[in-house]
Amino acid sequence: MAITTLSSREFNQDSSKAKKAAERGPVFITDRGRPAHVLLTIEEYQRITGAQASLLDLLAMPEAAEIDFDPPKLKGTLTRAVEL
């Protein structure tokens, strides 16, 4: 895992460089020479936090249109009488 450090100015001038570096490891972004932010890939962030993508996040992905989804039919009644 490579750790990269960029100044805020470098980050603003070449964000694609920062994104490529984030594929290899965390990117520390400094303000006036002091670490202020860290850039991570979403996969690394989820691994560190233990977070899982929500259904909404998964459906928003461009690849979602290619997913075949055929849910099983529900059996039985889906309603019941209300007791007042």
Tens digit of pLDDT for each residue in 23-78?
999 999 999 999 999 999 988 988 888 877 777 877 787 777 777 777 788 887 77
Tell me phi and psi for residue 37, to 5 degrees.
Answer: -145, 160
Residue-level pLDDT at 57: 76
Query: What distance in Å separates the CA atoms of residue 74 and residue 45, rounded to the nearest whole number?
Result: 37
Q: What domains sit in the chain, N to C, each tagged with a CATH number?
A: 4-63 (3.40.1620.10)
Return the number of other C-beta atoms located less than 10 Å from residue 27's C-beta.
23
Query: SS3 of 43, please?
Result: helix
Instruction: Place 80 in a pLDDT band, splitting at 50, 70 and 90.
Output: confident
Sign, Cα dihedral of 42, 47, 51, 57:
positive
Nearest 10 degrees: Cα torsion 52, 56, 58, 60 = -140
Residue-level pLDDT at 12: 95
pTM surpassing 0.95?
A: no
Query: What distance in Å separates the CA atoms of residue 16 and residue 43, rounded to the nearest whole number?
Result: 18
| Least confident among 15-19, 35-39, 61-65, 79-83 | 61-65
